[in-house]
Structure 1
Amino acid sequence: MLGISGLVASPTIDLSSPTKSRQRPGSRIPSSTSATTLVESASPALTRTAVSLEYAALRYTGHCPLGMYITPSVTDLLVWDAVFFVHQGYYTDSILKFRLTFPPNYPERPPVIQFLTDVFHPLISQQDGMFNLAPRFRPWRPKEHHVFDVLHWIKAAFKKQALDEIKESECLNKEAYRQIVRPFLVLLASSMLSQSASALFDSDHPSMAGKGPQGMHFHELKPNQLDTLRAKLGLQDWHEATIS
């Protein structure tokens, strides 16, 4: 299969600073058109092809991290909705919803990551849920970096080793960074909040304000519905499984 890097050859881009336009001596760009505009007007067909191949590649072993579930938006291929079930670290048992939004000139620039679930994390802004990719992808290299790299970094960012290596200058939530040395009570509260009925089932939850609907919906099951589903899938009740 043709790799994403085979579609678009591109320069390295540093996430830590805005892209500056460069002009060759003697070249002329109309005053009404900036270099940024020219880049942003990259072929939509190439972008959609690149994103489609990235999604198809998630089926390969090791590409989609364990505990993550991804689905493209039904209205826009360049928007993916995701759910992350955290199994290790300070945030164990958290259920976190986030969104990947691809820029019009992907893979020239990385996708934007926004958490829709409120979570107290150094790399996640409390204002809008934006996640900082820069600690792992500085610079972003279109010919080397892919969506599965981004997903694995998101998962790693919730583990102790990555949290211990984060620098304060990279943090979008300074308070979370300062509290990381005594995280258990604060992060445990964040974990429990992500599992609450209002966070999982209520579309009017405050954390969703202005972020738009998410493509993955959770529905609370009644006991009889849960028993029927378990029987259909051949699953045991958790307490029964631990006793037997």
Structure 2
Amino acid sequence: MSIPEVPKPTSAHELEFYSNHFRKYELLIEYKNLREPEHCPTGVYVMPSIDNIYEWYGVIFIHRGYYKEGVFKFFIEIPEQYPYAPPRVEFITSLFHPLVSKDGRFSLDQQFATWRPRIDNICHILHYIKNSFKDAVLQNLQEEYCLNKEAYRTYVRDRHAFVKLAAQVAQASSSEKSVYERIEGSTLNFSYMTDDEAETLRLKLITNQGAVSLPSASPAGGQSVFDKITTNINYFFTGHPENGHGGL
């Protein structure tokens, strides 16, 4: 049996259409691969915009270190030239960090000084985002790559003050006001609900019945808002209560 021949582009316009279509397909595959534990770091969750595959919304939960119990929301803008041009990362949640400018822009320059198409990709950026909260990265930062010089110099010259400021922004980020603040266009908004409502939603997730939104139960039963969210978001993404990997 003969295999039908796939029509080839006959014009520059058609060639551009096929190229753009293929890049979007590649991006969808890359997002799907975030299911793999080695691709998406623990405590990091991302989801593309409903209307634009080139816009991803994310959240990172910090479980230890200077920013312990921080809940930081961020945004990834992917250029149409990707993977030949790097994405741009911007934190939505206010953050005192050497690599984060006062308007939220996150610097990738030190880690990705030269962007390598199809070698460097979004999963590497997600790992770098997580690692940037750890001493292993903070201790090796060069000031020229830091967008917040004050945070960098505080970390280097006055660690005690840095620890205090990092704890303050972490505490503010996990407050109900910050966690439940709705970000226009974001696919990772949290909804306040009671424990009973959260349990009903978890049952829907387990049985895969109907569309749901991100759950975040009330901080009852001795659990903080941070603990509640980290439990429920794992139900949403993985179907399990453990602090599993992010991604789909």
Alignment of 1:196 with 2:175, yes or no, is yes
Alignment of 1:187 with 2:166, yes or no, is yes
Take 1:41 and 1:225, find their aligned partners in 2: how far apart are those partners?
A: 45
Instruction: Describe the shift of the 1:72–1:179 C-alpha distance in structure 2 as closer, same or farther (beyond 3 A).
Output: same
Tell me which residue corresponds to 2:149.
Answer: 174
| Equivalent residues in 2 for 1:84-233, closer than 5 Å | 84-127=60-103, 129-180=104-155, 181-182=159-160, 183-203=162-182, 212-225=184-197
| Equivalent residues in 2 for 1:3-82, closer than 5 Å | 43-82=19-58
Unpaired stretches in structure 2, ≥5 consecutive residues: 1-15, 207-219, 224-248
Instruction: Describe the shift of the 1:45–1:237 C-alpha distance in structure 2 as closer, same or farther (beyond 3 A).
Output: same
Question: Which has the higher mean CA deviation after the structures are superposed, 175-184 or 63-72?
Answer: 175-184
Take 1:231 and 1:99, find their aligned partners in 2: how far apart are those partners?
A: 30
Q: Whose helix proportion is higher, 1 or 2?
A: 2
Structure 1 counterpart of 2:19, one-letter code = S
Identity %: 34
Is the CA contact (8 Å cut-off) linking 1:41 and 1:104 kept in structure 2? no
Take 1:54 and 1:108, find their aligned partners in 2: how far apart are those partners?
A: 15
| Count of paired positions | 191
Is the CA contact (8 Å cut-off) linking 2:96 and 2:166 kept in structure 1? yes
Structure 2 counterpart of 1:178, one-letter code = R
Take 2:52 and 2:131, find their aligned partners in 1: how far apart are those partners?
A: 28
Take 2:80 and 2:115, find their aligned partners in 1: how far apart are those partners?
A: 16
Take 1:82 and 1:187, find their aligned partners in 2: how far apart are those partners?
A: 20
Instruction: Describe the shift of the 1:192–1:52 C-alpha distance in structure 2 as closer, same or farther (beyond 3 A).
Output: same
Q: What TM-score does the superposition give when structure 1 sets the normalisation length? A: 0.71
- Computed over aligned residues only, the root mean square deviation of the Cα atoms, in angstroms, reads 2.7
Q: What TM-score does the superposition give when structure 2 sets the normalisation length? A: 0.69
